[in-house]
Structure 1
Amino acid sequence: MEEIELYLEDARDTMEKALKHLNIELSKIRAGKASPSMLDGLQVEYYGMNSPIHNVASVTTPDARTIAIKPFERKMISEIEKAIRNSNLGLSPTNDGENIRLNIPALTEERRRDLVKKVKAEIEVAKVNIRNIRKDTNDGIRKLTKEGVSEDEVKKGEERVQKLTDSHIAKIDEIFAAKEKDIMVV
């Protein structure tokens, strides 16, 4: 019985990590408002090494449609611009010699629908991850019958895994509904 609890606790932790990862991925999909997190994951070449943009510049949002980037070193402006252009963000940087500005265009209806499709793809990946965790956990619990755990205990453990899975899938659906609303509201 104690072994089943260990499997359940591990499954719960792994499912929570999958939800955190989903939230990180969804934060990268913009909903029309400027946000410093839109640049999370953007790597800039800094002295021959790739570094996150937040390590080489301060990133702020002076208003809802603009991201301002102030490099810690002036010579980094061209590297930051190059990284932004090479990313798939679809943003055009402009600089005044000291700062870089990114103007975030208003989203068209078509672009909003494309973003919702991206969100759906991320949601589906998260659901598959949760189901894989369920499968692995159930496989582990079933193996416990060889160690003397009764079939009834294994069945109860599998039912608890299913409840855990259902609750995490429901959380994913809530996250999707909130993100879709955020994107589609003009």
Structure 2
Amino acid sequence: MGLNVFWDNSNIWLVGRKVCEINEPGDEALFRIHFAHLFDFVVNDRNVDFAYLGGSIPPNNDDLWQRFRDLGVVVAQQERGAQSGGEIAVDEAIQLAIADRILDADEPGTIVLLTGDGNGYSEGKGFIKKLEQAIKHGWEIEVVSWDAGCNRYLRTFAEEKGVYRSLEPAYSRVSFISNKRWASKT
């Protein structure tokens, strides 16, 4: 079985802006992720069986979500809280999708998780818990994250039990600055 990619869009984008602040100070507002290049980096010429992205709206950016769909990614959009404006249940939706994939797949493969979020582990929930469950059911795991924002427990878990891949070396490939710098092809 091939890869099963689970993508926490907000985490990857928000931490990417912080990395931009270090690499290209002053351009954070124009920072963008090149989705196809990031997807190619994650996949690394391997077969993808399933891909899932969790993100929040508003903004209702149909073009953005369509770009993911064009890559073959299942897009799950969650509304933001009316009072707080914050994300509600995006991480939980991704975690449920991981659990469903673990239980529903005919045979184990590799789960690749794009996030740096390790919250909830001490309470027996969260992404690390889902990765533990995947391993228990015979799956291999990879975490792809920005070092600058990866939860230390998530990173250590991935390094000890699977693979951890840093996004910083691919910064110029997976990101661009709108109307200033385009993403490199390598």
Structure with a larger share of its residues in strand: 2
Which protein has the larger Cα radius of gyration, Structure 1 or Structure 2?
1
> TM-score under structure 1 normalisation?
0.25
Structure with a larger share of its residues in helix: 1
